[in-house]
Structure 1
Amino acid sequence: MKKNNKFYMKKELKAVKKYKFLAFLTIAISLFAACEDDFSDVGSDLVNNNNFNSLLYDSSNLNAYSVKINGAQTNNFNNLLLGVYNDPVYGKMTANVVSQLSLGTTNPDFGIDPVIDSVVLSIPYYSTAVDIDDDATIYELDSVYGNGPIDLSIYRNNYYISSLDPNNDYEAQEYYTNQYNTFDQNHSSLALLEISNYTPSAQETVLIELNEDESDDTEQVFDTVRSTPSFRYHLDTEDFQEIIFDREGSSDLISNANFQNYFRGLYFKSESLSDTGTMSLLNFSNASITIYYTYSYETTQENNDGTETTVIEEDKDEFSLSFSTNFNVYENEYENVPDQEKLYLKGGSGSMAVIDLFTDQNQLDSIRELGWLVNEANLTFYVDETQVDLEDTITQPSRLFIYDINNNTVLSDYSFDISANDNNPFLSRLIHLGNLSGDNNRRYYKLRVTSLVNNIINNDSTNTKLGLTVSANVNQTNTTKGIFTNAPEELENIPVGHVLTPEGTVLYGTEENSDKKLKLEIYYTEPN
């Protein structure tokens, strides 16, 4: 994704500088003063922080480990990934799409001797307008990963997509990203469309359309219609003559239930051409296939003597197919978490981390008895420079996301973050979910969890498990069902934003003997 709002970028930079300055003073002063009071095991690790008139405690016991994600439900998504992405750590990920189509009109009447003029497939990209050049709008694409060409093919899907699951009391059917082989082995042998050396285009869509209101028998008036960039290609007219128009009047088109059993949708297949590849996020909620055709019809013409003659006239019309059920299937080279010393975060159906705060109950009870007023609490995750090229800022996710696994919800810090920006996720919730920061030797993500920690210490809130993932959009808080390995029983769902990005990183965990070890930093004030 790309940031395009200069005003908010300046505002973000000022905010980041301010918080970095305060954090620097906090750490620098804490190095020169120690807490004079003895709080046994807890108090021995306290550091005075005069800048905030508070103390720093960073020795609470916590645990963090990686969890492999084997699959995620995506048939409830409006947006889906398509393409091939090669991660320098996790290898190649292929994202294909299965789509079920619906008739715009059931039991259609195409007129007399209809002839298809063209068939157009259109799926919008996500884009931002950045400039205007004469009448043209200049766009930049969002959510595009990599710039290497790939091959794309669209096939007729042969696997029936059911809306109900007969094996689960006819509950709503769920489709998961790990069903790659099921659909890759069940499509037509001949492609409906083949695109060689494909890369997403940021060009706006320009159409010339007949203005029927302004046109007459003597003059035709055309309008230029411009729209945002889209995955827009012409499909073969003979294929859709056979699939749709030749079935006019048959039971196959009498209802969408019949049609979806007869024509089981499309399978979008991606194939890599090199070690790079490209993957993009597409808006399937606004996808369509439009069939433009010419047909004849009977009408009457009045003669000079007052009689009428039946004549055949021609006209043009269009018939649309909408995309009703769509989901991703992924193929990954990344199959297993390498070890539990590091935290492996990989989008798609990759891996995430689980974090347990205050794993020593006696330690937590001692802290609670002290009655601290928590001024600030942070979890700082350092990028493992031995596995990740720290000079590579392109493949590194700019944001992480942390959530309450037990209750499947965001943290209270997320809700209270005054930097929330619903119109620009790149600049949203920077206090709670800090950007990738630091220099090439010490890059890190700082996540503020002040409200969470304060509630655990002072309000006796339940110490919940936390999920840590990458995120394509921190404003997107909904979750989806997942299939996991090495997961706690509380973990059932993962953020949609994690599933819809291929990016990944490797972070230092709690087992490291390093100054980059994951710690919970608590800045607090003692009671009077």
Structure 2
Amino acid sequence: MIYNIRKVFTLLSVMVLGGVLVYNCEPEPDSLGEQLFLNGAAEGVESSYDLIAYNFKNNDTIRTDAYKLLNIIGSSSTSSTAVLGAFNESQFGMQRASYFTQVRLAADNPDFGTNAVVDSVVLVLKPSYRIDSLIATTTDENYVYQNGGLDANGNVGTNIDAKKVVSTYPITKFGKTKKKLTLEVHEVKEFMNGYNDYVYSDKKFDTYTPLLGSKEIKEGNVSAVTITKDSDNSQITPSSAPGIRIQLSPTLFQSKIIDKKGQPELSDASNFIRHFRGLKVSVAEDDGYLFQFAPNDMELIMYYKNDLAVAGAPPKRPQTKYEFAVKFTNMHSAYYEYNRTNAKINDFAFGNKEIGDEKLYAQGMGGNSIGIKFKKEEIDILRKLYQDDKAAIISAKIRIYTDEIEWVNPYPKLGAQDFTIVQRNKDSAGKETTAFTTDPTSLGATFIPVRAYNTDKNPASYEFTVTRSLKDIVESTDTYDKYKDKYFKIDLAQFLPNASGAIAGYNSTSRAFSMGRTVFVGSNSSSDKKIKLLVTHGTKK
């Protein structure tokens, strides 16, 4: 394919590292070789070369502690993401996600007053939802708000005439959206260590058998409630993101919290997290869908009544709200289960680093990554072109197609932003090293790491820029042995920013909570959609 400078300058949209573009046309050369096209000084010809592409097995395990889930890369960052749910399909089998968190007191040695009795306890989760897809709004103009506290006259439980508005949105899901899920909460039995400790996704902390609470999400929706006074239209309850409210056992919180008032168990955080070790949130089903929620937006609220002395009258018992700390400095972790029995991944995902795998099964949350190596015989051809014909590499991209037979389904399609790519090699001591590909440094602000094509069609395809990485090998005087261990690792994830907005590092990604998965065509010699290396050479006229 012949390129010229006019086509190069049609690429007007550029982004920094982590940026992506989506196309439905043929790709263009990157800016590394633009100078070779100036004034018609060179022509470019694109050729394809074989690659060794294989399933990189992560043993269904990934680091999923607080550092990875809460995304505290920079000191001012407070973002967080975790996953709940279960999804079972024929290609990858079953994947189920549970969540563990410690609980802390709002302050040491809380005073719950005299004769305190728990009324209710609620755990609130804030899932990701589609804010642009309001399903329904219901309004109760005759709602009466039960005020559990004291009014200005010292009366308890004053009713307030109000209006209640419930707005319902669909949860953002990956999987079978019409399935129901049942959320379950258990008390953790095992001490979960500290906030800074490493935890991996195959770690299942022991829990007590009795359920603390459960909640069935029938339609996979979430609601926000707004209550306003009839008298002046002011809000009675503060606005918050739509949430899932799970009622927990008042009995347990009575015995573990209220009845321990003034005792060592509530004296400080260290004692408390060994007394009440935390909560596990899971799902009862093994099929349905996965969804993300924000741990830093979780709420654990205990409502209780206690005696309040009133001069010249019997004690009153107003309702008080106590909010536990379930975010930021607590230990958090995710637990992922897999059952690949009879799944098609078993027939193709062998991880063959010598000839590659026919199909590639990429999956987030600790599933397979994709490994890609240059073939020595192809490098020899490229070196000969460079040395004998002075054919400079202007552009080099890895093109990969989704499997048009194995991956036909209604599940969300991957965009270019859903991939990360790094390069790995061995140093002089034989230790494997990992780093960004060398292209960001070479191309600077014009670097576009991944492009997506035809994501609304079957098959879709994706291209990964590896120009500088290939040139480093082809144009080097070193023997191939120096590069024989070099390979690329592609994950279904995104690079995460630090507090200032810059990419935090090659190992700071969303892999721990990336729900996506896709089947790609690998090193399948019989397929015209096999993974390939596309190289554009430039030669002077």
Fold-level match, TM-score > 0.5? yes
Aligned match for 1:263, one of 249, 255, 276? 276
Aligned match for 1:154, one of 181, 185, 197? 185
Q: Which amino acid aligns with 1:286?
A: D
**Does the 8 Å contact 2:360/2:522 carry over to 1?**
yes
Q: Write the mapping of 1:352-367 to structure 2, written as runs, cut at 5 A.
A: 352-357=369-374, 359-360=376-377, 362-363=380-381, 365-367=383-385
Instruction: Confirm whether residue 63 of structure 1 aligns to residue 49 of structure 2.
Output: no
**In 2, Cα distance between equivalents of 1:442 and 1:346:** 18
**In 1, Cα distance between equivalents of 2:222 and 2:414:** 22
Q: Which amino acid aligns with 2:55?
A: S
2:284 match: secondary structure? strand
Superimposed CA distance per residue, residues 102-138 of structure 1 (whole angstroms, 9 cap, x where no aligned partner): 1111111111222333322112112353278798777
Range moving further from structure 2, 105-114 or 334-343: 334-343
Q: Write the mapping of 1:105-120 to structure 2, written as runs, cut at 5 A.
A: 105-120=107-122
2:131 is matched with 129
1:484 is matched with none
Instruction: Confirm whether residue 282 of structure 1 aligns to residue 293 of structure 2.
Output: yes
2:322 is matched with 319
Q: Which amino acid aligns with 1:121?
A: L
* Cα pair distance change 1:494/1:526, threshold 3 Å: same
Deviation at 1:279, TM superposition (A): 1.4
Instruction: Confirm whether residue 402 of structure 1 aligns to residue 421 of structure 2.
Output: yes
Range moving further from structure 2, 96-105 or 441-450: 441-450
**Does the 8 Å contact 1:156/1:266 carry over to 2?**
yes
**In 1, Cα distance between equivalents of 2:122 and 2:385:** 65
Range moving further from structure 2, 125-134 or 321-330: 125-134
* Cα pair distance change 1:365/1:373, threshold 3 Å: closer
Deviation at 1:403, TM superposition (A): 2.1
**In 1, Cα distance between equivalents of 2:193 and 2:533:** 47
2:211 is matched with 191
Instruction: Confirm whether residue 411 of structure 1 aligns to residue 434 of structure 2.
Output: no
**In 1, Cα distance between equivalents of 2:255 and 2:266:** 13
2:199 is matched with 175
Percent of counterpart pairs with the same letter?
20
**In 2, Cα distance between equivalents of 1:284 and 1:80:** 7
* Cα pair distance change 1:155/1:138, threshold 3 Å: closer
Q: Write the mapping of 1:446-465 to structure 2, written as runs, cut at 5 A.
A: 446-457=463-474, 464-465=486-487
* Cα pair distance change 1:226/1:22, threshold 3 Å: same
Deviation at 1:252, TM superposition (A): 0.9
Aligned match for 2:366, one of 349, 355, 362? 349
State the structure with bigger RCO (CA 8 A, min sep 6), 1 or 2.
2
**In 1, Cα distance between equivalents of 2:126 and 2:210:** 25
Q: Write the mapping of 1:425-444 to structure 2, written as runs, cut at 5 A.
A: 431-435=448-452, 437=454, 442-444=459-461
Q: Which amino acid aligns with 1:289?
A: L
**In 1, Cα distance between equivalents of 2:241 and 2:538:** 53
1:72 is matched with 62
**In 2, Cα distance between equivalents of 1:397 and 1:88:** 19
Residue segments in structure 1 that go unaligned for 5+ positions in a row: 1-10, 27-49, 165-171, 215-219, 302-308, 420-428, 479-492
* Cα pair distance change 1:199/1:140, threshold 3 Å: closer
**In 1, Cα distance between equivalents of 2:405 and 2:170:** 33
Instruction: Confirm whether residue 54 of structure 1 aligns to residue 44 of structure 2.
Output: yes
2:94 is matched with 92
> Over the residues paired in the alignment, what is the CA RMSD in angstroms?
3.9
2:490 is matched with 468
Paired residues, number = 434
**In 1, Cα distance between equivalents of 2:63 and 2:424:** 17
Q: Which amino acid aligns with 1:84?
A: A
1:258 match: secondary structure? helix
TM-score, structure 2 as length reference: 0.69
2:273 match: secondary structure? helix
1:203 is matched with 223
* Cα pair distance change 1:173/1:22, threshold 3 Å: closer
1:294 is matched with 305
Superimposed CA distance per residue, residues 340-397 of structure 1 (whole angstroms, 9 cap, x where no aligned partner): 33222122222111112353454454355355444332211122234222xx242543
**Does the 8 Å contact 1:122/1:289 carry over to 2?**
yes
Q: Which amino acid aligns with 2:222?
A: A
Q: Which amino acid aligns with 2:466?
A: V
* Cα pair distance change 1:106/1:204, threshold 3 Å: same
**Does the 8 Å contact 2:121/2:250 carry over to 1?**
yes
2:182 match: secondary structure? strand
Range moving further from structure 2, 281-290 or 399-408: 399-408
**In 2, Cα distance between equivalents of 1:203 and 1:447:** 40
* Cα pair distance change 1:108/1:522, threshold 3 Å: same
* Cα pair distance change 1:156/1:364, threshold 3 Å: same
**In 2, Cα distance between equivalents of 1:403 and 1:102:** 38
* Cα pair distance change 1:224/1:268, threshold 3 Å: closer
TM-score, structure 1 as length reference: 0.71
**Does the 8 Å contact 1:114/1:296 carry over to 2?**
yes
**Does the 8 Å contact 2:117/2:305 carry over to 1?**
yes
Q: Which amino acid aligns with 2:452?
A: N
